[in-house]
């Protein structure tokens, strides 16, 4: 279990410096980021044939219904608000991972 979570974290760190050799199983995406927001990133990923099938989970401190609905409208499969409970966070990721295998 921890290895699996560490692989996700490793991928997130890796993509900041270079594209991964193999696509990730899941993308965790914040909404508020410098230069481009998470909604735009999600739209770009969903428009690209190579990344369109990767489930995207939004992880954000924004808690308004509008923000959550928009995340689903642009292609997100789940929305987790910060601060989050670790057990719930891991369970949600496991469910999405298992349902997409």
pLDDT digits (tens, 9 = 90+) for 27-83: 888 898 888 889 998 998 899 888 899 999 999 999 999 999 999 999 999 999 988
Q: Which runs of E-coded beta strand occur in the chain? A: 27-29, 56-60, 78-81
Could you tell me how far CA 52 lies from the centroid of its own chain? 12
How many whole angstroms separate alpha carbon 60 and alpha carbon 51? Answer: 21
pLDDT value of position 5: 44
pLDDT value of position 11: 45
Cα angle 81-82-83, degrees, rounded to a multiple of 5: 130
pTM of full prediction above 0.75: yes
């Amino acid at each position: 279990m921890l290895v699996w979570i560490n692989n996700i974290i490793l991928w997130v760190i890796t993509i900041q410096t270079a594209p991964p050799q193999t696509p990730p199983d899941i993308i965790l995406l914040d909404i508020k980021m410098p230069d481009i927001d998470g909604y735009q990133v999600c739209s770009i990923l969903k428009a690209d044939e190579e990344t369109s099938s990767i489930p995207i989970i939004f992880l954000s401190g924004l808690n308004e219904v509008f923000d959550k609905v928009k995340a689903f409208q642009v292609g997100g499969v789940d929305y987790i608000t910060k601060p989050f409970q670790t057990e719930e966070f891991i369970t949600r990721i496991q469910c999405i991972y298992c349902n997409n295998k």
